[in-house]
Structure 1
Amino acid sequence: MDTKIGYFASLEQYKPMDALEQAVRAEKVGFDSIWADDHFHPWYHTNAQSAQAWAWMGAALQATKKVFISTCITCPILRYNPAIVAQTFATLRNMYPNRVGIAVGAGEAMNEVPVTGKWPTVPERQAMTVEAVEVMRKLWESESPVTFNGKYFTLDKAFLYTKPSDEVPLYISGMGPKGAYMAGQYGDHLMTVSADPELLKKSTMPNFEKGARDAGKDPSKMERAMLIWYSVNEDMDKAVEGNRFWCACLVPSMFKYKVYDSKEVEMHANIVGHDLIKKNFICATDAEGLIKEIERFKDAGINHFCLGNSSPSVNQGIDIFKDVLPHVR
């Protein structure tokens, strides 16, 4: 499978119109895909944003010409009802055939707790996600009204009159062994998040492949996508610090526990050291360095990169890929 290079338009880090301009620029440079974070609270507090992903996607799809656009990552179980998620992405895929996808996951407290007050355990949220995916697929595919009585969600003669023009590619988030297995079992593709390449090789990829095979799928035909942040600057220390905004993603407790105040999240981000940032994110001083870093994660099995641009000069961080893309594909 060919390697795809996508651009993550960080709606938590940049104003929505700035992110839109970045997306248009990234398509012109030659990126294969555009991804948008679907959050309520951001991963940092200082100078942060929190635009709504679905509204932004509509504008981005109209402003671009052919690039694939997806969320990364939508939680379809608490602040959103999965039937409404299904309706939204059916509409987008109907309007923009072959160009729209969705990545789903079990969520983060910072997005769900502020507007629901709820934060179930990891196993329960994973079970809810599986059921939500079932609800979404039924609504996308059924030619008659759907009645569904699940443990977490209910449909009573629900019918989507506006169907997707073709199948909506569904990426499922998998970071731990169980999540990776579930992504293979229930998703079309894997979406994982910045991790040590050795962990990807030894745990994430084998469990994803096993989940796919157990579900009767061929894992070689499924994408192994990863959301990872990058920063490029002539000064390596500045490049590393450029990724600071996202460093709380390297703290496992952020995904597990009820931490939802972005000021508190930022405190965790600010104590992450440079060595950990270099190991799990992409930091480079030039195009050659970016190529080497991307190859490091390709060797771990990633074949679709969702690259979040945290470079001190954002436009430089996009334009440098004119020199990078031909080599990493």
Structure 2
Amino acid sequence: MVEIGYKLFTEAHSAPELVKNARLAEDAGFSFVSISDHYLPWISNHGHAGFAWCILGAVSQATSRVRVATGVTCPLVRYHPAIVAQAAATAATMMPGRFELGLGTGENLNEHVTGGIFPISEQLRLDMLREAVKIIRTLWKGEMQDYYGIYYTVDNARIYELPQELPEIRISAEGPMAAEVAGEIGDALIHFEQKPEEVIETFRASGGEGKSCMIETVVCYGRSEEEAKRTAYEWFPVAANKGELNWVVPTPTHFEQMQQMVTPEDVAKTVLCGPDPEKIIEKVGKFVDMGYDSVLIHQVGPEQEAFINLAHDVILPEFGIRPPRPEATGRMVPGPAR
């Protein structure tokens, strides 16, 4: 059975809102939540970019069943891999058996802020990711560790706060080159919808056979299709950008300039917009048919609670997912009468 997750989008919601939405998503029956890890928002009117690792601590205490993942953290420039190893190990102790570390090669938007140079070459970024994952897995063995590599140094490091069950590492892949690396070094895959069939086939052929495959899809549920298109354009115009732009552009101002080059209709070619849940169900079903066992739904815009209620009532039951009875958790999903 497919597992369906809910996106915690740090760039567009405050930390308290994200914690509340994580709890509501658990009550509604979502199998997992995944949190973005940004230093800057894509565009300034998002107005938020809280520190994901602080929010994870709060989510760990506000939930008890739902699995929690970073979606995704970049261990290349802004974070040293040794710091990510420590943060993830601590998070896993807060959520035994529920935490998953999602890693990727990141974007210049976030990675340049500490003065480091973000590599434009995808191959170089992937080589750095290989080394970063090696360091993380080495430190998770415990004991004092040293590492002297091409890109990183670890000197007399030891993680003392290790969980009994180490988290899986899910590697992000936008295209076949990254999918090949993900199959080689990752426990699982996450893809962001650009080339779903090619990426999953490459991942499986490169060591990923039998491993979990997740895909993130973006929707904008709203009262009408036109209203949803306007919301998607206002909140997530980056969906219309082509090629490598989203990975190399350095500031929200640049993304706002690119927003002027696209239209709501352009964004709606990628973001499924409107009030019809059957279209979301159909889209999820297509990914399941491709072989994805997990689908992460990113609801764009302010209507988070309404979407969570829609998922509880219509979308999740279509895939055989039923939330626990309210009395089992002592909480109910607030919202309009069903």
By the TM > 0.5 criterion, same fold? Answer: yes
- SS for the counterpart of 2:189 is strand
- What letter is aligned with 2:204? E
TM superposition outliers: structure 1 runs of 4+ over 3 Å: 269-279
1:211 to 206, 214, 231: 206
1:25 CA displacement: 0.8
Rounded to whole Å, the distance in 1 between the matches of 2:44 and 2:65 is 34
Partner of 2:336: none
1:136 aligns with 2:99: no
Partner of 2:224: 235
Rounded to whole Å, the distance in 2 between the matches of 1:319 and 1:310 is 15
Rounded to whole Å, the distance in 2 between the matches of 1:57 and 1:68 is 11
- What letter is aligned with 2:303? S
Contact 1:283 1:290 in 2 (8 A): no
1:200 aligns with 2:190: no
Structure 2 gap ranges (5+):
321-338
1:236-292 residue CA offsets vs partner (Å, 9 max, x unmatched): 1222333222231442232443x1110211232453345553443333422222212
Contact 2:60 2:94 in 1 (8 A): no
Give the 3 Å change call, closer, same or farther, for CA 277–255 of structure 1 in structure 2: closer
Rounded to whole Å, the distance in 2 between the matches of 1:61 and 1:224 is 24
226-235 or 268-277, which moves further after superposition?
268-277
1:68-124 residue CA offsets vs partner (Å, 9 max, x unmatched): 111111000101011111011111112221111111111100001122241223221
Contact 1:282 1:294 in 2 (8 A): no
Structure 1 gap ranges (5+):
none
Give the 3 Å change call, closer, same or farther, for CA 194–266 of structure 1 in structure 2: farther
1:37-81 residue CA offsets vs partner (Å, 9 max, x unmatched): 100111222142110000000001101111111111100010101
Partner of 1:45: 44
Contact 1:230 1:311 in 2 (8 A): no
- What letter is aligned with 1:75? C
Count of matched residue positions in the alignment of Structure 1 and Structure 2: 316
Rounded to whole Å, the distance in 2 between the matches of 1:229 and 1:272 is 17
Partner of 1:73: 72
- What letter is aligned with 1:235? S
Alignment of 1:3-152 (within 5 A): 3-120=2-119, 121-142=121-142, 144-152=143-151
Rounded to whole Å, the distance in 2 between the matches of 1:18 and 1:130 is 34
- SS for the counterpart of 1:74 is coil
Fraction of identical pairs, as percent: 28
1:168-209 residue CA offsets vs partner (Å, 9 max, x unmatched): 1111110111101111111011111132xxx311x2111111
1:328 to 306, 313, 319: 319
Give the 3 Å change call, closer, same or farther, for CA 270–60 of structure 1 in structure 2: farther
Q: TM-score, normalised by structure 2?
A: 0.88
- SS for the counterpart of 1:272 is coil
266-275 or 298-307, which moves further after superposition?
266-275
Rounded to whole Å, the distance in 2 between the matches of 1:52 and 1:145 is 28
Rounded to whole Å, the distance in 2 between the matches of 1:298 and 1:267 is 36
Give the 3 Å change call, closer, same or farther, for CA 165–249 of structure 1 in structure 2: farther
Rounded to whole Å, the distance in 1 between the matches of 2:228 and 2:291 is 25
Rounded to whole Å, the distance in 2 between the matches of 1:102 and 1:81 is 15
Contact 2:69 2:101 in 1 (8 A): yes
Q: TM-score, normalised by structure 1?
A: 0.90
Give the 3 Å change call, closer, same or farther, for CA 265–237 of structure 1 in structure 2: same
